[in-house]
Amino acid sequence: MPLVSPLDPNHDNDTKELATFFNETLGFCPNSVLTMQHRPAISKAFINLNKAVMANEGRVTSALKRMIAWVSSNATGCRYCQAHAIRAAERYGGEQEKLDNIWEYRIHPAFSEAERAALDFSLAASQIPNAVDETIKGRLYQHWNEGEIVEMLGVISLFGYLNRWNDSMGTSIEDGAVESGEKYLSKHGWETGKHR
């Protein structure tokens, strides 16, 4: 049982209109957003932030942003966000080999050194205490410019919020996200946990 129950998708017309964004990214409106509707200003601000952070500005592709989100969510242990991130990575053109081997991104040949630097940044930035250091910075600057690094940290920070929201709420996970979690993540122990 979630801490707070989601409201009907038609509860707030402004949120409903903004939430059509998620039909593209996930194929459904997340229960997290439906719960945020208890305070519509939060749901609207969150959706607009999500849209800004996830906008494709160039080399940090939509698929890579979702893999960054997955690494961040894996580091914090939020199973809800792990499934959402891997589902969105798939829907945004993530290569099958990368999705199948996301757990081994550091050693699997499907990942480039630039992607490894981005995903290691996500892991380091998602830890408590924060583990971003000069080595991480140096690797990032070998492959990415400052605007791209800002995009990446935007994703990591957005998912920091989502990881805490959904794990604390015990947000019920949607069928589509369960399907993606089972497809790509269950071989490494992923399960819905508290997010039933």
Q: What is the dihedral of CA 72, 77, 78, 82, to 10 degrees?
A: 60
Say if pTM beats, i.e. exceeds, 0.85: yes
| CA Rg value for the chain | 16
Which own/partner contact pairs does 93-97 have at CB distance under 8 Å and 24+ positions apart? 93/61, 93/62, 93/63, 94/63, 94/66, 94/67, 95/63
Domain of 165?
Answer: 57-188
Domain annotation covers residue 125: yes
Domain annotation covers residue 184: yes
Q: How many folded domains does the chain comprise? A: 1
Task: Say which CATH number the domain at 104 has.
Answer: 1.20.1290.10
Q: Residue-wise pLDDT tens for the chain (196 aa)?
A: 899 999 999 999 999 898 898 988 999 999 999 999 999 999 999 999 999 999 999 899 999 999 999 999 999 999 999 999 999 999 999 999 999 999 999 999 999 999 999 999 999 999 999 999 999 999 999 999 999 999 999 999 999 999 999 999 999 999 999 999 999 999 999 999 999 8
Give me the helices (H) in 109-174, please.
113-125, 134-143, 146-169
